[in-house]
Amino acid sequence: MSVRLRRIKQEYGDRVVIKWKSFPLYPDYSPGRRVKDLPLLSATSRMRAAAEEEGIGYKDWPKDVDMPASSIPGLEAAKCAELQGEEAFERFHFALLRAYFVENHDISQRDVMVSVARQAGLDVERFISDYDGGAQRAVVLAEYQEALKDRQFSGIPAAFFDSRIWFEGGVPIEMYRRAIDRILAES
């Protein structure tokens, strides 16, 4: 979805504002999680997205390697990157997705987050200070609680357009274009 939304932003420019909200894949802390514990649909949808569209990467997680114990640290790190501006967030966001989906790095580990921040060209000292400060964890958890209360959707990724139209899962970019064109035509 991130690659598709990046293209949407390029196509529509200032007519579209993208706001990222936190909804953890793994909100609990569960060390020892393995690929066999994932629903088959999860891996299948990731492989389909990678096959459908250039720029979307995915590599199967090794069966004998622990997956991240939680996705909260990655979301928290993304919020820390966002404190450095929209461009910093975007660079970090794509580097984080690559680290997890293509390079199979454990994004629940602090050293991995710092490495991703460095790769994304962030002010690493500021990132570390923000990350270690822990304030962004509260933001992530608040967004998660808000989504749980809202219950408009049951899966991720989810994309909402003007709070009127939403899609769950990886959908073709044309569906995003149709939703945006409809909303823009009505305004």
Q: How far is CA 33 from CA 39, 69, 95, 161, 169, in A?
A: 12, 6, 23, 34, 22
Q: Please write the tens of the pLDDT for every residue from 58-115.
A: 777 777 878 788 889 999 999 999 999 999 999 999 899 889 888 889 999 999 999 9
Average pLDDT over the chain reads 82
User: Is 70 exceeded by the pLDDT of residue 159?
Assistant: yes
pLDDT at 50: 61
pLDDT at 35: 67
103 compared with 2, residue with greater pLDDT = 103
Phi, psi of 167, rounded to the nearest 5 degrees: -125, 140
Contacts of 146 (CB under 8 A, 6+ apart): 21
Q: Where are the alpha helices (DSSP H) in 134-172?
A: 135-150
User: Is 90 exceeded by the pLDDT of residue 172?
Assistant: no
| Token reading at 117 | 């921040």
Q: For residues 128 and 146, give the distance between their C-alpha atoms in angstroms, rounded to a whole number.
A: 27
pLDDT at 41: 47
Cβ(35)–Cβ(63) below 8 Å:
yes
Q: Please write the tens of the pLDDT for every residue from 126-149.
A: 999 999 999 999 999 998 888 777
As a whole number, mean pLDDT of residues 2-20 equals 84
Bridge partners, 161 (sequence order): 165
Q: Could you tell me the residue ranges of all domains in the chain?
A: 2-186
As a whole number, mean pLDDT of residues 41-63 equals 64
pLDDT at 127: 98
177: phi > 0 → left, psi -120 to 50 → alpha, else beta; which?
alpha
57 compared with 136, residue with greater pLDDT = 136
Q: Which residues of 111-133 are buried (b: 16+ CB within 10 A; e: fewer)?
A: ebbbebbeebebeeeebbebbee
pLDDT at 138: 94
Fold of the domain spanning 2-186: Glutaredoxin (3.40.30)
Contacts of 115 (CB under 8 A, 6+ apart): 99, 105
